[in-house]
Amino acid sequence: MSELAREELSALAAIYCEPGACEVLAVSEMHGVSFRIQISVKELLDTDVLLKLLFHLPVNYPSTLPDISVNSDQLTRAQCMDVKDKLLEQAKKHLSEPMVHDLILWVQQHLKDVIKQSARVCNEKTTMSKGAEDDIWMLLLHLDHMRAKAKYVKTVEKWTSNLRLTGRLMFMGKIILILLQGDRSSIKEYLILQKTSKVDVDSSGKKCKEKMMSVLCETEVQSQHKRFQTFEVKEYSTPEELQKEFETAGLKTLFSEFVPPLLK
């Protein structure tokens, strides 16, 4: 992480010093830093909108643009994506200089305009998209091992709850799979957390990042796929039990394509 990024993060922590306003999620000399800023913005009709802005600053930031995710209980997925797109447009104007605080100030000043524009676009598409659900994405991960299993599982449960993701953490013998469903920005945010946070311990007991994770599949949920309503941790005694879990969710093809090679 660059010295500019360190100084910027320190300044942000001082500015957004209320409990929960600034949360550092991961710091790495190799991958950079991930942190979440929570702000309250006056939107339409003077209602407060709580925005959760996740920033991932790569090691060569600010020469490289940050990754940004936007979540809010008061906004739709489409609106969150519109806010994110506008923030990335603004970020390009600040390339090579610290920009996070400027981006936060910008969204506080312009959120109302972004939401109005998003509403106009949505209304124009109403006839074409009537009855269609917001796009839901699915992610299947394979983990090689968990040394600190209880802590690891608790961390995954916390992340999925915060990001409103559903699915399964599945154990069958030595096989460990994570199957997630949710909006695409939350899926991406989960991957950032999984790759950059110290979620396990190494052979000497020191905290370490997940270095042996494989993304088996990332795709849009189709009509034949069952939507998981909750996130659950489950253990299976046989491959048949694991296969049944996939088939019940309409994911027979997903199982047959990715899981049998892991059983060998």
Give which of 228, 249, 140, 157 is closest to 191, Cα–Cα.
140
**pLDDT band with cut points at 50, 70 and 90 for residue 120:** low
Write down which residue in 122, 145, 163 finishes a domain. Answer: 122
Write down which residue in 91, 122, 153 finishes a domain. Answer: 122
Q: Global pTM? A: 0.53
Q: Note whether 118 and 17 are same-domain residues.
A: yes
The string of pLDDT tens digits covering residues 147-179 is: 889 999 999 999 999 899 999 999 999 999 999
Number of domains in the chain: 2
- Per-residue pLDDT, averaged over 26-31, amounts to 83
Cα–Cα distance for residue pair 168/246, rounded to 1 Å: 10
Q: Are 20 and 34 in contact (CB under 8 A)?
A: no
Cα–Cα distance for residue pair 85/72, rounded to 1 Å: 15
Structure tokens at 114: 């972004």
Q: Is residue 127 part of a domain?
A: no
Q: Note whether 141 and 257 are same-domain residues.
A: yes
Transcribe 137-201 into DSSP letters: EEEEEEES--SSHHHHHHHHHHHHHHTT-EEEEEEETTEEEEEEEE-HHHHHHHHHHHHHSEEEE
Q: Is residue 110 part of a domain?
A: yes
Write down which residue in 122, 153, 181 finishes a domain. Answer: 122
Q: Is residue 219 part of a domain?
A: yes
Q: Is residue 130 part of a domain?
A: no
At 30, which CATH number? Answer: 3.10.110.10
Residue 223: give the domain boundaries.
136-262
- Per-residue pLDDT, averaged over 21-49, amounts to 84
Low-confidence winner among 21-35, 76-90, 127-141, 186-200 (lowest mean pLDDT)? 127-141
Transcribe 241-261 into DSSP letters: HHHHHHHHTT-HHHHHHHSHH
Q: Note whether 112 and 181 are same-domain residues.
A: no
Structure tokens at 83: 């806010």
